[in-house]
Structure 1
């Protein structure tokens, strides 16, 4: 049985609890084979995460202009974007580019646009863009 000592930081917060040590000791006793209840708990946690909604945006392009020019815009004005026709658009999830694709017309309803994915951005590359 290991000895448990409590340490406190300058704010008086305990750095480790007996429960933390019990979890470590329990994991050491189990070894590489996980208990069935641990796997079930992981699945429930994953189900919770998979149920979280995320905001997806398709960025057709962007533009920069002076406030004076912005105030001159009226109905029918065209704002040129930095992307050209046919270039891939960015698919952004919660502020991070995760994929690129081509704008398409949705077959079921010709009045809506969609995006056909052409490239999935790896998590490593996405982190470099942030």
Structure 2
């Protein structure tokens, strides 16, 4: 990987699960409300970049902070495609 790209930043999201809501349901949410997600507690968490799953793993605690421990990595091509490269770098 060229050094130019080593410092490239991108947004990543850890997806624990999802739930479809109506706008009305979202507006009526209150502190303390619970939302049931589409995953079981023992299922892996997904690391998502630009809408693509690039890794899966577990949530762990390290020095009192939450952390993501990678247990599976998507194929290299999938990971490369998840980054929106400026046309001058492609």
Q: What's the TM-score, normalizing by structure 2? A: 0.75
Greater length-normalized contact order (CA 8 Å, ≥ 6 residues apart): 2
Larger strand fraction of residues: 2
Unaligned runs of 5+ in 2: 82-90
Aligned residues: 80
2:55 touches 2:72 (CA, 8 Å); kept in 1? yes
How much has 1:123 moved relative to structure 2?
A: 3.5
CA RMSD, Structure 1 to Structure 2 (Å): 2.0
Is 1:59 paired with 2:15? yes
- Give me the TM-score of the superposition, normalised by structure 1: 0.54
Q: Distance in 2 between matches of 1:124 and 1:78?
A: 37
Greater percentage in helix: 1
